[in-house]
Amino acid sequence: MCTNTPLCQVFGSARLRKFGQVWKTWRKSRIVSLYMDAGGKTLQQNQDALWQAVLGEIELSVSHGNFITWFKGTSLLEHSDEKIVIGVTNVFIKQTLENKYGGVIAEILAKNGLVAKRVEYKTTSSQTDKRRTDKAAETAYTPPAASPATTISAGQPAQSNLGGLTQSFRQGLNERYTLDNFVVGDSNDVAFAACQAVTVQPGTKYNPLFIYGGVGIGKTHLLQAVGNVLVARNPSAKVLYISMEQFVQEFVNALRFRKMPAFAKHYRTADALLVDDVQFIAGKEKIQEEFFHTFNTLHQANKQIVITADKPPKDIPTLEDRLRSRFNGGMSIDMQIPDFETRCAIVQAKAQSHGSNLEHEVVEYLATNIQTNIRELEGALNQLLAYCEVRGLEPNLVIASGLINVNKTRPKHLSAKQIIERTARHFQIPFEEIVGPKRDKDIVVPRQVAMYMLRNELKLSFPKIARELGRKDHTTAIHSVDKIDREARSDASLRMAISEIREHLYA
């Protein structure tokens, strides 16, 4: 049982309860805004509460970096049957929300009872103020995310204990991510240890520290935690967290508003630079060039750089060689999907930090059914806790299994042919070849992946797997499945391929 393991004992302890208070406050505010009648409040307060509920859900469906970049300063300005007007702080955010996140926003608005003929985005006055300030202070550079010190995201605890820190020195950091509330297991212990080491002696040992791995497995959490520790140890240090997407956006803005020198200076004078999802730099030559210089300046000055990505440097397409070699010049760590025991410990720890003690069978149910993404696991847990709290129920297996629609992600109608087709399409080879006689490496590996998928998704027997792929000998299937299983543990790009195929299958 999970709670009898050393992991659970460690993370179910008093240390966690300390964080429980913060989480409780956050969660309460979220639950209140989600479910309670807001009678007696002003219209603006109701709108704010509604919007916080919407943001709370959006935060669960986008990456932390994206959330901070695109949603942090937003507000609900107006809503009627005719239109919903969302306030944003600049025109780039407006464009991105319209073009990229329109669907997600509409869906979550509707879930929260906000339906209208159209959704509009309006730049609010803080942007006008900002432009004015921009003009006045040509040399001063204020990154967009730090400028509107207004809305605290639904996922963030109140920032009351920021002490005397200026916003810009804590840019992008969210106190909710700490090393203490990160659950350590076999899949992430190396990354955790390296992060710890970096906080003890920044800029010396592992520089840069490059952490890569799939989606929702805790990379941003660790990166943010490093930032929080560095700021706690040295409150005057300029610790900058930025997602590469945001860096790109700021770069474009800086070019447009002729603030390149200030932009460059801002990042080149950091004491520590934490860059999330660096893969977004792929194919952007000018940005690679700027980032290269930033990197060199900081590195030469022994300033700590920590980078995360969804794949190792060698697999990031169109990455300049000089950057690739810089990224490889320190310590690279492959983070993996947490195993069952760690997932149990995470669920238990998160539940306890919400003030709830779940039965083992509920913890295990969640950890069994949501395997690949801790963000999803957390979302499912939050959903369960919110559901039970509102109704005054104790979470149990029946409620959990009713609420988490496992069949949604594992439809039974999936056929072997669909899996093979999808795998072939992923590797851009014809169906006839993957099931055909050719033994070229380009075909053999996809074929092995297809066998692995058939085994994992459909639990087919080895003889059946062999037959589906046109092989006579079932030992080929045994070896293939075993090989992919082993290699996926150490090869992030293979894991990505598998999870992409899986995502398409269940989309």
**Which residues of the shown chain bind ligand ADP in the complex (CB under 6 A)?**
63-64, 182-183, 188, 215-221, 338, 346, 374-375, 378
- Both tokens assigned to 49: 């509460």
374 binds, among Mg ion, ligand ADP, none (CB under 5 to 8 A by kind): ligand ADP
* 446-471 core/surface letters (b: 16 or more CB in 10 A; e: else): bbbbbbbbbbebbebebebbbebbeb
Nearest distance from C-beta of residue 215 to ligand ADP, angstroms: 5
In whole angstroms, how close is the CB of 78 to ligand ADP at the nearest point?
31
Rounded to whole angstroms, the Cα distance separating 404 from 384 reads 8
Q: Which does 183 bind (CB under 5 to 8 A by kind): Mg ion, ligand ADP, none?
A: ligand ADP
Helix (H) or strand (E) holding 333: strand 331-334
- Which of residues 370 and 460 has its CB atom nearest to ligand ADP in the complex? 370
Q: Which is nearer to ligand ADP, 218 or 446 (CB)?
A: 218
Phi-psi region of 96 (alpha: psi -120 to 50; beta: other; left: phi over 0): alpha
455 binds, among Mg ion, ligand ADP, none (CB under 5 to 8 A by kind): none
Least spacing, CB of residue 146 vs ligand ADP, in Å: 21
| Minimum distance from residue 220 beta carbon to Mg ion (Å) | 3
C-beta of 148 vs 208, nearer to ligand ADP: 208
Q: Is 172 left (phi over 0), alpha (psi -120 to 50) or beta?
A: left
Find the shortest distance in angstroms from Cβ 198 to ligand ADP. 16
The secondary element (H helix, E strand) that includes residue 341 is: helix 340-353
433 binds, among ligand ADP, Mg ion, none (CB under 5 to 8 A by kind): none
- For Mg ion, the closer of residues 219 and 422 by Cβ is 219
Give the number of C-alpha atoms closer than 13 A to the C-alpha of residue 431, restricted to the C-beta side. 8
Q: Which is nearer to ligand ADP, 183 or 505 (CB)?
A: 183
| 238: partner contacted, choices ligand ADP, Mg ion, none (Cβ within 5-8 A by kind) | none
Burial environment of residue 414 by CB neighbours within 10 A (0 to 12, 13 to 18, 19 or more): middle
Partner interacting with residue 157 (select from ligand ADP, Mg ion, none; CB below 5-8 Å by kind): none
Q: What is the DSSP letter of 239?
A: E
| Site of interaction with Mg ion (CB under 5 A) | 63, 219-220
Given the complex with ligand ADP, which of 221 and 303 has the nearer CB atom? 221
Q: If residue 332 lies in a helix (H) or strand (E), which one and from where to where?
A: strand 331-334
Distance of CA 366 to the CA centre of its chain: 19
| Nearer to ligand ADP (CB atom), residue 346 or residue 484 | 346
Residues 154 and 30: beta-carbon distance below 8 Å: yes
CB of 492 to Mg ion, least distance (A): 14
Task: Measure the CA–CA gap between 266 and 391, rounded to whole angstroms.
Answer: 50
Measured from each CB, the residue nearest to ligand ADP is 218
Least Å distance, CB 293 to ligand ADP, is 26
